[in-house]
Structure 1
């Protein structure tokens, strides 16, 4: 079976997308499915390239038994559009930024549509305190759990479907 490759994307790749990557990676490992997935994260901006996730993201993940401290921020690359089956944006602004640069055959989705079914943006906790990071963690955990559960049923329909911005 072909590995499923998923890229989580936020603005700077230090808060939301590293948490999503870490949570999804953890859930996949817990389900003993690590060999079936390629999981990564990136940012639409390159301000933090090479740096670890925000210390508050690391602390939040760590408080739930997930280590994301080894991740390093990177900016989305043109090769990502062909290397990943599914690119998942944390909010509509980042989805719009991706839609401007992605080839038409790229499968781009909003996390709130794909994983939560609510259409909501995952809020950027960068300018807030620990409570904002915990809220983001909770929404990402809920969505990543649903996404992993739904992968078998939806996998065939992902390729070539770009999410519309509502």
Structure 2
């Protein structure tokens, strides 16, 4: 089990949750948000594409101790809205995913710990709106092989 497996599993979960969601694009079409791991692709000028709507799952850090192992991730949400109500689309997406996480909380090989932190920044680069969710996942800790004690006493 690797952190990549955890992220990929979580991505599949988000894809299932967002399957029926439709949000506007800059060309006024309705589509499901693209769901990516890490970062949006760069355009030909080396700048991040503004390919709205999107949900990006980003690794922040991980930590292993004697008792447990955790992975912290950030889920970024981006929508396009020509009116001042774009923040409502962000809130809707965050609530949808948060609700489904709380229903399940224990996944195949990790657990989403509470609290779940959601933020919508006060300032937005209109007509683009963004939000973020921070999660801590408890994952299996790799045990040392052999007869030696894994941690000094």
What's the TM-score, normalizing by structure 1?
0.27
Higher gyration radius (CA): 2
Bigger RCO (CA 8 Å, 6+ sep)? 1
More helix by share: 1
What's the TM-score, normalizing by structure 2?
0.29
More strand by share: 2
